[in-house]
Amino acid sequence: MHDYSSAYRGEFSTRRGKRRFDDDEPTKVERVRQRRTLAPIEEFDATDGLPDGDRWSTWDQSTPTERGPKPYPDWLVTELAAVDAELGILKTGKEADVFLLRRGIPGTSRSCLLAAKRYRSGEHRMFHRDSGYLEGRRTRASRVNRAVANRSAFGREAIAAQWASAEFGALARLHAAEVPVPYPVQILDTELLLEFIGSADGTAAPRLAEIRPAAAELAGLWDQLVQALVALARDGLAHGDLSAYNLLVHDGRLVMIDLPQVVDVIANPRGAWFLNRDAANVSRWFAAHGLSGVYPEPAALSALLQREARLDP
């Protein structure tokens, strides 16, 4: 595979702490560390009913097109006898909350950890600056399009469903293209069940913004990120809101998350602008955090992505 990240390397200088970047702004996204203890699934007995907050597996409630790409991963529990045990909240945000679930078969050792992303209902605050992202997204139902444009109660509910559906579709598409994203397990209404990125004890992987990698690790993460962005652009997509807050780092592997606002750069008239902003945000973050000697110029990265997306830079 071609090392795209090396094509635009050069020297840079920066005064750390003198400038704030987009993803340095205060965020309402919070991580919640407290959750239920992960007791062995073999000890769980469902014969007397399920504990409060738990449910039977919802796998059979999603249609085949609402499930992740085949072949299903070996770790994924698809048996209908499984129980979804809610273990606590992983992250709260303006548009959705993410919960930790364990889907397991009672009385056996078969289980897996999942992240349940639940979008807020229409009466709650919706995605910030959503109009720009919705350009180029249309349904066949003109009534739905009008309701979305007018932001009626029905329209806001439709927008919530669009965010969930857009994220699930993007994750399925990108996973099939081997872009580093969580495996999308299934979608049910406005709930997405995703591969949990973290350790077996339920500790979520940190966001890139939460770590301070050494020089060699920082360069390796940058290389991974450029390859992922190139793969996105080749598929005609931009993340749309990329920053160090929606990139996870797990065992040295970079994983891209939070893609409800994914942008079709061909259909959206501002597609090139979103590519430019994504490139600028991540380039500046890596530079500000010490990517010495391999500073990724935002303009050069943006030009690369526009070429891969077959747009004129």
Q: What is the DSSP secondary structure assignment for residue 243, as one 8-state letter? A: S
Per annotation, catalytic residue among 235, 241, 264, 278? 241
Distance CA 38, CA 257 (A): 24
CA angle 163, 89, 211 (to 5 degrees): 85
Residue 67 CB partners (closer than 8 Å, separation 6+)? 59, 185, 186
The closest of 294, 88, 292 to 201, measured between CA atoms, is 88
Q: How far is CA 183 from CA 74, 130, 177, 254, in A?
A: 12, 25, 12, 14
Phi, psi of 173 (to 5 degrees): -65, -45
Euclidean distance between the first and the last CA atom of the chain, given in angstroms as a whole number: 24
Question: Amino acid identity of 167?
Answer: E
Distance CA 249, CA 226 (A): 15
Per annotation, catalytic residue among 84, 235, 258, 278? 258
Q: Is 45 a catalytic residue?
A: no
Q: CA neighbours within 13 Å on the CB side: how many for 149?
A: 11
Q: Is 52 a catalytic residue?
A: no
Radius of gyration of the chain (CA): 20
Strand residues in 120-174 grouped as ranges (E): none
CB 204 within 8 A of CB 31: yes
Q: How far is CA 313 from CA 263, 276, 295, 302, in A?
A: 17, 10, 20, 8
Catalytic positions are 241, 258
